[in-house]
Amino acid sequence: MKYIEKLRNSGLRPTKQRLQICEVLFNTEKTFHFTINELEKKIKDRANNKISLATIYNTVHAFEKKGYLKQIPINSNQTYFDTNITDHHHFYDLKEEKLIDLENSDVGPINIKRKINGKKIKSVEVLVKLED
Amino acid sequence: MKYIEKLRNSGLRPTKQRLQICEVLFNTEKTFHFTINELEKKIKDRANNKISLATIYNTVHAFEKKGYLKQIPINSNQTYFDTNITDHHHFYDLKEEKLIDLENSDVGPINIKRKINGKKIKSVEVLVKLED
DNA sequence: TAGTAGTTTATAATGATTCTAAATAAGTGT
DNA sequence: ACACTTATTTAGAATCATTATAAACTACTA
Ligand SMILES: [Mn+2]
Ligand SMILES: [Mn+2]
Ligand SMILES: [Zn+2]
Ligand SMILES: [Zn+2]
């Protein structure tokens, strides 16, 4: 299994639940956006055994803390995550409630001129809301 | 009362609850960011009578729909609102969990090069996360 | 003043997320 | 392999922001 080392190196034991979740999240051509509920559904579809919802939450948060997932700031009752951990931005289609990646190259360079005393910039994220 | 006309013109009846909430939200020198719970506290402090939480939710959503308030997309368990309805951006201090306005002039002009078929850009919002 | 449509309110319901604590599994040393 | 420790999983309960309900109340209009 190609995720065993990745997990061990992160100090996470490679359990069969985590490995299954890795398969669903990372063994794909393209990156994608998801909510916990969508992920739960994907897992059910893929494997026949079920992983408890608590474990899915635990794992997603563990992966996020390790930097393998990002949370996307968006106004929704559910939290959105992203398997694309590169610096990039998003369109948010308000009608479809769907996120679309916006590569850095699709947005001009962003220069934050103001500084806040004693604080460092950790990330700069652009959200472009779309309507019809 | 200076908010009566504003409300009437929006098709909202100027009830005493709405007028009180207008006072708290709009009768200030500076704009500010708030959650429903923070707003509830402000209202309690200001007036001695209480407005039901349901009414606060209703009113905030009504004002948002009319464009007198904006929701700020951010990862938090509570929804943040902004009385500053001009186009602008935000710092988010991760440690303090506080929002700080970033004026348009503090961010270079943002040029979204990619187009999505049949969709119009409604807003472009930048969130700059700050750490120590 | 009467009628009506809009609003407020207490309270219940919802639903995403987190917590709990017991069972299970993984890592470690022998 | 075995014993031991520690991490993880799990079902279910708890939390808590938000929304729904439906009855009482209020603003507008004629
Ligand atoms: Mn979360
Ligand atoms: Mn809301
Ligand atoms: Zn993305
Ligand atoms: Zn603001």
Q: How does pLDDT run across A45-71, given as a tens digit for each residue?
A: 887 778 999 999 999 999 999 999 999
- List the structure tokens of A4: 């065993």
Q: Does A71 touch chain B (CB under 8 A)?
A: yes
What type of residue sits at position A104? N
Sign, CA torsion B107/B115/A83/B72: positive
Distance of residue A16 Cα from the nearest chain B Cα, in angstroms: 30
Query: How many helices (DSSP H) and strands (DSSP E) are in chain B?
Result: 4, 6
> DSSP letters of B55-70?
HHHHHHHHHHHHTSSE
Q: Does B106 touch chain A (CB under 8 A)?
A: yes
- Cα separation, B16 vs A129, whole angstroms: 34
User: What is the predicted pLDDT for the residue at A1?
Assistant: 65
- Give yes or no for a contact between A26 and A16, defined as CB atoms under 8 angstroms apart: no
Contacts of A65 in chain B (CB under 8 A): none
Residue A11 CB contacts under 8 Å (≥ 6 apart), including other chains: none
Average model confidence (pLDDT) across chain B: 94
Question: How many whole angstroms from B54 Cα to the centroid of ligand 2?
Answer: 12
Which one has a higher pLDDT value, B59 or A98? B59
> DSSP letters of chain A?
-TTHHHHHHTT----HHHHHHHHHHHSSSS--EEEHHHHHHHHHHH-SS---HHHHHHHHHHHHHHTSSEEE--SSSS-EEES--SS-EEEEETTTTEEEEE-GGGB----B----TT-EEEEEEEEEEEE-
Computed over its alpha carbons, how large is the radius of gyration of chain B?
17
CA angle, B128 as apex, B130 and B57 as ends, to 5°?
100
Q: Does A131 touch chain B (CB under 8 A)?
A: yes
Question: How many whole angstroms from A69 Cα to the centroid of ligand 3?
Answer: 10
Mean pLDDT lowest among A4-8, A40-44, A96-100, B39-43: A96-100
Q: Protein contacts on strand D: list nucleotides below 7 Å from a Cβ.
A: 7-12, 16-21, 26-28
- Give yes or no for a contact between A117 and A78, defined as CB atoms under 8 angstroms apart: no
Computed over its alpha carbons, how large is the radius of gyration of chain A?
17
- Give yes or no for a contact between B57 and B104, defined as CB atoms under 8 angstroms apart: no
Topology classification of domain B1-85? Arc Repressor Mutant, subunit A (1.10.10)
Average model confidence (pLDDT) across chain A: 94
Tens digits of per-residue pLDDT, B64-108? 999 999 999 999 999 999 999 999 999 999 888 899 999 999 998
User: What is the predicted pLDDT for the residue at A97?
Assistant: 87
CA distances from A110 to A13, A125, B2, B64 (A): 39, 10, 40, 28
The verdict on a CB contact (< 8 Å) between A75 and B75 is no
What type of residue sits at position B93? D
Mean pLDDT of A87-108: 92
